[in-house]
Amino acid sequence: MPLPKRQDKTKKRIILKEILMYTIVVLSAVVLATLIRVFIFEPFIVPSPSMDPTLKVGDKVIINKIAYKIGSIERGDIVAFHSPLEEKDLVKRAIAVEGDEITLTSEGEIYINGERITESYIQADQGVSYINQTVTLDEDEVFVMGDNRNNSFDSRYFGAIPGEDVFGEFLVIYWPPSRW
């Protein structure tokens, strides 16, 4: 027996409300995910071996894009930035920050403001040596270097980078799971 017209309209209205509700939920999820991706967290694939062994080529990482909007870059932070020489993004370690004087020696030592730094993230058997140089960073500049010093194109070659080119801080490796 067919439903009376009133019940049929009510049933259609309920179905339409449910479809509308699901549509709103899906659209809200898409908008929220897009906002998070654009303004807060960005997935990033490590493009080179310059951060080995800390980060390996192909590691998929999350970059925290608001870290330096609410805080400042600290020595030792792993930062993501726009390359000053090519159209790609890089990940390196901030070795010195604005106002610091960094000195590199041919013996592979680094001095920040006259004090020798120790870097536990560098492999001891790397045999690093640098071209003797001293650089004083201006306001809002960062001196970045890869942890794999013998295989890193970094501030030793292209100079300090402007802080405005840094778009985030390394947060976590999310793939492959064996690197968690």
From the list 5, 28, 50, 178, the catalytic residue is: 50
**Six-digit token string for 26:** 């899906």
The helix or strand, by DSSP H or E, that contains position 7, with its residue range, turns out to be: helix 5-39
First to last CA, the chain: 62
Could you confirm whether 50 is annotated as catalytic? yes
Q: Is 26 helix (H, G, I), strand (E, B) or coil?
A: helix
Report whether 134 contacts 161 (CB < 8 A).
Answer: no
Question: Among the options 65, 92, 152, 155, which is catalytic?
Answer: 92
- Read off the tokens for 55: 């980060």
Of 153, 138, 94, nearest in space to 119 by CA? 94
87, two tokens: 């159209």
- The catalytic site residues sit at 50, 92
